[in-house]
Amino acid sequence: MGGWAIAVHGGAGVDPNLPAERQKQAKELLTRCLNIGISALRSSLPAIDVVELVVRELESDPLFNSGRGSALTANGTVEMEASIMDGDGRRCGAVSGLSTVKNPISLARLIMDKSPHSYLGFSGAEEFAKQQGVEMVDNEYFITEDNVGMLKLAKEANTILFDYRIPLTGLDSCASSVESPIRMNGLPISVYAPETVGCVVVDGQGRCAAATSTGGLMNKMTGRIGDSPLIGAGTYAGELCGVSCTGEGEAIIRGTLARDVAAVMEYKELGLQEAVDFVIKKRLDNGFAGLIAVSNKGEVAYGFNCNGMFRGCATEDGFMDVGIW
């Protein structure tokens, strides 16, 4: 075993004109979350506890699209989703359609640990949260001024917006009369810069874990479920690696992206970075996405085929890196 390793992400596909101040804020948040994870790993917390801890921190900050600050549905409400997976035994838990659970990733963990199921959604998930005494808040807690503005923009453009963090100025190209070259399930979209959060960890015992959380797409149809809560698509952990994905959910689902990293490591005997590169190149078809991964050997890797990915990683030997482009 090569020691512990951790990686975090705040979404793949970044507006090339993202203001410097917002880039700085993103890097500071990623660094803070990495340091939280590093401290936990140095205290010998297992990988599954560390990924939950880090994603809770990301959900509690409105900068990225998860928990507080989640994207809004076409009805102006929040429907959050998350999943978590422990490579030790391949245990998992997932949630969709949450509107009042403060930290979706912790409810996913409780489904894994305290229920006979792997996945609960909407009213059933909310009821289970109440039974478990999970902290609940009004839906308004998750809604920010930025979100409201971006939903208005999306409705005026009659489209889905992936990135509700793009500045509201300078978006004349988002007009509904402009045909976008980027498509989702064959339909044009005006802006591509999705944000989701995730964390992958291998601890000092070689145990891998992964967690992913999101608010989904701005102006999405009520009831839409993306890749983030789907084990094998947005999240996967097994004996060899842990993976968290971000980007165009429909493409990630079709490519079963997270599981495929583990599969090519197992069946093609590729190394971690080789596996990540192979999957990004061969499994996304015309989709855009990125992912972070760790191996049971203490390696860390990432890849993306779009314009940047908010990310950070660190290893036990002292390596640490935070980047966007």
- What pLDDT is stored for residue 197 in this prediction? 97
Residue with tokens 């909310």: 126
Angle at 254 between CA 291 and CA 175, to 5 degrees: 80
Is 230 strand, coil or helix? coil
Q: Between the CA of residue 316 and those of 52, 203, 261, 262, what are the distances in Å?
A: 19, 9, 23, 22
Sequence-distant (≥ 6) Cβ neighbours of residue 277 within 8 angstroms:
303
Query: Do 36 and 86 contact (CB within 8 A), yes or no?
Result: no
For the annotated binding site, the residues are: 224-227, 246-249
The angle at the Cα of 279, spanning 278 to 282, to the nearest 5 degrees, equals 80
Instruction: Check residue 1 and give its pLDDT.
Output: 60
Check residue 26 and give its pLDDT: 94
Identify the CA nearest to 95 among candidates 76, 67, 75, 71: 67
**End-to-end C-alpha distance for the chain, whole angstroms:** 30
User: Rounded to an integer, what distance in angstroms lies between the CA atom of residue 49 and that of residue 17?
Assistant: 36
Q: Where are the alpha helices (DSSP H) in 43-103?
A: 47-60
The answer to whether 196 is a known catalytic residue is yes
Cβ within 8 Å of residue 257, ≥6 positions away: 227, 233, 234, 243, 245, 279, 283, 284, 289, 291
What is the identity of the amino acid at 31? Answer: T
pTM: 0.90
Paired strand residues for 315: 5
Q: Is 31 exposed, middle or buried (0-12, 13-18, 19+ CB in 10 A)?
A: middle
Which residues fall in the annotated binding site for substrate? Answer: 224-227, 246-249
| pLDDT value, residue 188 | 46
Q: Which of 196, 212, 256, 315 is catalytic?
A: 196
The helix (H) or strand (E) run that includes residue 313 is strand 309-315
The per-residue pLDDT for 235 is 98
Residue 167 has a pLDDT of 42
pLDDT of the residue at 150: 80
Q: Could you tell me the mean pLDDT of each successive run of 10 residues in the chain, 325 residues long?
A: 92 86 95 98 98 98 91 91 98 97 98 98 98 95 84 74 44 37 45 72 98 91 94 98 95 97 98 98 93 98 94 97 97
Angstrom CA distances, 33 to 25, 198, 302, 309, stand at 12, 11, 17, 16
> Measured between alpha carbons, how far is residue 112 from residues 21, 57, 307 in Å?
38, 20, 34
